Amino acid sequence: MAKVRVAIVGSRFAADIHCDAYTRNSNVEIVAIAALDNLDAIAKKWGIRTTYEDYNQMFAVECPDLVSVCVPNFLHHEVVIAASNAGLNVVCEKPLATTVEDGREMLEVCERNRTRLFYAEDWCFSPTIMRMDALIKEGGIGKLFYAKAKETHNGSHSPFAKTLKMCGGGSFIHLAVHPIGYLLHLLGRGENPVVEVSGHMTGGLDRNFVHKDFEGEDFGIGMMRFGNGEVGFVEGNYITVGGMDDTVEIYGAEGVLKADLTFGSNIQCYSRKGISYSIEKTDHNLGWTRPAVDEFYGLGYVNEMSYFVDCVVRKEEPMYGVSGRAGLACVQLVDAFYESHKCGRRITGSWM
């Protein structure tokens, strides 16, 4: 079988994760990478032969089977549309877009061009989450009532995350978009819409708890109620020190599931002099740590990229949780949460 030819746009944190995941798949060749900086370093690290500063030129010359979009949030719109107009299938990092209008247009263009749009919600492919999905499917915890999920850490490393225009908001759009996407996958499944949301945020800049230089909020929580009555509680904040903290709790009529996606390593390490790395976004790695065994695999990226590659090979649409439609629903929900915070009341609607 000919290898699936992948091209990457972006060269930093997310691009590195995508390269790692594709490189582990023997059916994939990363043929080229385009970005404004760091090209030599990332190309050398992953053995990518061709680099471009202009992604449009890369699309035209390389004609890849699949493009991974790993650029700042506000650029997802223009890069996805350019790839689709070049006839290419696209994986788009979270959040799908910074505005609902941009997200809608991205879906419309991809539909019109008949190119596939994969929304990169890696949580859907975390081995921990997939095992929990199976336990829920076999009825292990009965009918689901309530799910609570969060992603929190001490602040994005990316300068693009600091402005509302480039990020679309603060910690809520940047981090809570993971639990929101996961709850759509778990409880919404493309058939059970969210019908009510309420959100509470710090207000950005001086109103933030810690990050006074971030235009967007550094703390955001939200409640979402689904049409069938289930309730979700989601959180995304930048005030959590000590490492990235991603947790999930699911409550059903017959049981409970709890998972720790980031601190759940089987290794307990005590080091007086410190170790080089334990998990993402720790301040230091001295004393007791829980070093991740395989962080990118554990968070789902490896399975995720394999799934998208398989969809391309089989010419199949993705499941709901990682479809462009789910990505757009996440952006619409984030918008509704922000609106709820602004006007101080619950917002009703139908988001799916």
Ligand X SMILES: NC(=O)c1ccc[n+]([C@@H]2O[C@H](COP(=O)([O-])OP(=O)(O)OC[C@H]3O[C@@H](n4cnc5c(N)ncnc54)[C@H](O)[C@@H]3O)[C@@H](O)[C@H]2O)c1
DSSP per-residue string spanning 51-110: EES-HHHHHHHH--SEEEE-S-GGGHHHHHHHHHHTT-EEEEPSSS-SSHHHHHHHHHHH
| DSSP secondary structure code for residue 305 in this structure | H
The helix/strand count (H/E) of the chain reads as 12, 15
Which among 35-43, 230-238, 265-273, 338-346 is the span making contact with ligand X, rule CB under 6 A? 35-43
Which of 332, 333, 318 lies closest to 118 in space, CA to CA? 318
Chosen residue from 6, 7, 11, 199 binding ligand X by CB under 6 A: 11
When the beta carbons of 103 and 252 are compared against ligand X, the nearer one is 103
Residues 6+ apart with CB under 8 A from 336: 197, 199, 347, 349, 351
Does position 171 interact with ligand X (CB under 6 A)? The reply is no
Exactly one of 35, 149, 187, 333 binds ligand X (CB under 6 A); which one? 35
Q: Is 150 in the site for ligand X (CB under 6 A)?
A: no
The stretch near ligand X (CB under 6 A) out of 66-74, 106-114, 182-190, 305-313 is 66-74
Q: Any contact of residue 51 with ligand X (CB under 6 A)? A: no
In the complex, minimum distance from the CB of residue 129 to ligand X, in angstroms, rounded to a whole number: 13
34 binds ligand X (CB under 6 A): yes
- What lies within 8 Å, CB to CB, of 163 at 6+ separation is 215, 216
> Can you tell me which of 22, 55, 119, 320 binds ligand X, judged by CB under 6 A?
55
Write down the least CB distance from residue 248 to ligand X, Å: 15
* Cβ contact 288:46 at 8 Å: no
Minimum distance from residue 251 beta carbon to ligand X (Å):
25
Question: Does 83 interact with ligand X (rule: CB under 6 A)?
Answer: no
Strand-pairing partners, residue 28, are 4
The answer to whether residue 296 forms part of the interface with ligand X (CB under 6 A) is no
Using CB under 6 A as the binding rule, whether residue 10 contacts ligand X is answered as: yes
Binding span for ligand X by CB under 6 A among 36-44, 225-233, 266-274, 288-296:
36-44
| Start-to-end Cα distance in the chain | 37
* Residue 279 binds to ligand X (criterion: CB under 6 A): no
Q: Does 288 bind ligand X (CB under 6 A)?
A: no
d(CA 341, CA 197): 10
Q: Comparing C-alpha atoms, which of 120, 67, 114 is closest to residue 97?
A: 120
Q: Which long-range contacts (CB under 8 A, 24 or more apart) does 154-157 make?
A: 154/238, 154/239, 154/240, 154/241, 154/242, 154/281, 154/283, 155/210, 155/211, 155/214, 155/218, 155/238, 156/238, 157/13
Per CB under 6 A, 245 contacts ligand X: no
By CB under 6 A, which span of 59-67, 72-80, 203-211, 222-230 interacts with ligand X? 72-80
Pairwise CA distance, residues 77 & 181, whole Å:
19
Site for ligand X in 88-117 (CB under 6 A): 93-94
Give whole-number Cα distances, 150 to 171, 249, 314, in Å: 11, 9, 34
State which residue, 144 or 161, has the beta carbon closest to ligand X: 161
> Of 75 and 311, which has the nearer Cβ to ligand X?
75
- Contact status: 75 vs ligand X (CB under 6 A): yes
**Residue closer to ligand X (CB basis): 98 or 265:** 98
H or E segment and range at residue 313? helix 301-314
Q: Return the residue matching tokens 């789902």.
A: 300
Nearest residue (CB) to ligand X, 53 versus 274: 53
Residue 72 contacts ligand X per CB under 6 A: yes
Q: Kindly list the residues in this chain that would bind ligand X in the complex (CB under 6 A).
A: 9-15, 34-38, 55, 70-73, 75, 93-94, 120, 122, 158, 160
